[in-house]
């Protein structure tokens, strides 16, 4: 498992081949209720992410791990492990409001009210296959069912080609994760593979469930 972790958490696994970050700028949108303005901020390196925001997202991710139904991890990630995994290449965060930049002065508890979600874009494979990217969406558990995942997926599909990627692959989509399957299908992803008996989740106890592989040309 140590070899796997070295690849998963290493910042050096792949160096993104984009050279024009100015082509990607924050995006301001209106949520379903039409009264809430939100902004998706691109983050090209870990230094652009406020410390307390990283802590909040780490807590959210670890809470999802402990629920035991959508992620492969058994144990929580340390903050440093999470930040290397999530912010190691390119990431984005979606927050309420339209401030020009993210503030370092906001507390973890305040981020819990302001941060709607986050996603990353990274190469799924090294070398000759590095044009294929992958992503992961994390939605604030306290502010769900407002189309946040869809807005982030739309933004991902806009930004990933700008970063130099031409295809995306998302695997380990557990068959019980109805929300993610519907989101990917709504955004034009195609189910191209199935892995039988892939995961033992908390909700399924001793029963191994299947997972699916989705892909989309960018």
Residue extents of the structural domains in the chain: 2-169
Angle at 138 between CA 146 and CA 166, to 5 degrees: 105
- What pLDDT is recorded for position 10? 46
Residues 7-15, mean pLDDT to the nearest whole number? 45
Q: What is the DSSP string of the chain?
A: -HHHHHHHH-TTS-------GGG---EEEE-TTSS-EEEEEEESSGGGS-HHHHHHHHHHHHHHHHHTSS-S-SSPPPHHHHHHHHHSSEEEEEEES--SS--TT--HHHHHHHEEEEEEEEESS-GGGTTEEEEEEEE-TTS-SSSHHHHHHHHHHHHHHHTT--EEEEEEEETT-HHHHHHHHHTT-EEEEEEEEEEE-TTTTT-EEEEEEEEEE-
Residues 62-90, mean pLDDT to the nearest whole number? 96
User: At 202, is the pLDDT very low, low, confident or very high (cuts 50, 70, 90)?
Assistant: very high
Q: What is the pLDDT of residues 23-71, one digit of tens each?
A: 899 999 988 776 789 999 999 999 999 999 999 999 999 999 999 999 9
User: At 138, is the pLDDT very low, low, confident or very high (cuts 50, 70, 90)?
Assistant: very high
If you classify domain 2-169 with CATH, what class do you get?
Answer: alpha beta
- What pLDDT is recorded for position 146? 78
Nearest by Cα to 89 from 120, 130, 61: 120
Task: Please give the mean pLDDT across all residues of the chain.
Answer: 90
Please state, in angstroms and rounded to a whole number, the distance separating the CA atoms of residues 94 and 42.
9
- What pLDDT is recorded for position 91? 97
Please state, in angstroms and rounded to a whole number, the distance separating the CA atoms of residues 107 and 200.
36
pLDDT at 132 over 80: yes
Q: Percent of the chain scored above 90 by pLDDT?
A: 81
- Of 12-16, 46-50, 51-55, 203-207, the poorest mean pLDDT is in 12-16
């Amino acid at each position: 498992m140590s070899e796997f972790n070295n690849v998963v958490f290493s910042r050096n696994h792949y160096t993104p081949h984009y050279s024009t970050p100015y082509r990607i700028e924050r995006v301001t949108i209106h949520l379903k209720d039409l009264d809430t303005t939100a902004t998706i901020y691109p983050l090209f390196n870990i230094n652009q992410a406020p410390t307390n925001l990283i802590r909040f997202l780490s807590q959210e991710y670890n809470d999802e791990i402990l629920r035991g139904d959508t992620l492969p991890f058994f144990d929580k990630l340390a903050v440093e492990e999470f930040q290397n995994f999530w912010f190691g290449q390119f990431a984005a965060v979606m927050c309420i409001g339209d401030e020009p930049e993210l503030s370092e002065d906001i507390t973890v508890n305040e981020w819990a009210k302001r941060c709607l979600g986050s996603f990353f874009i990274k190469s799924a494979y090294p070398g000759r296959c590095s044009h294929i990217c992958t992503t992961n969406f994390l939605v604030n558990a306290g502010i769900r069912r407002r189309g946040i995942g869809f807005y982030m997926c739309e933004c991902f599909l806009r930004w990933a080609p700008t970063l130099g990627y031409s295809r995306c692959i998302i695997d380990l989509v557990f068959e019980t994760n109805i929300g993610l399957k519907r989101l990917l299908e709504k955004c034009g992803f195609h189910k191209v593979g199935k892995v039988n008996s892939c995961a033992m989740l908390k909700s399924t106890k001793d029963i191994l469930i299947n997972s699916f592989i989705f892909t989309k040309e960018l």
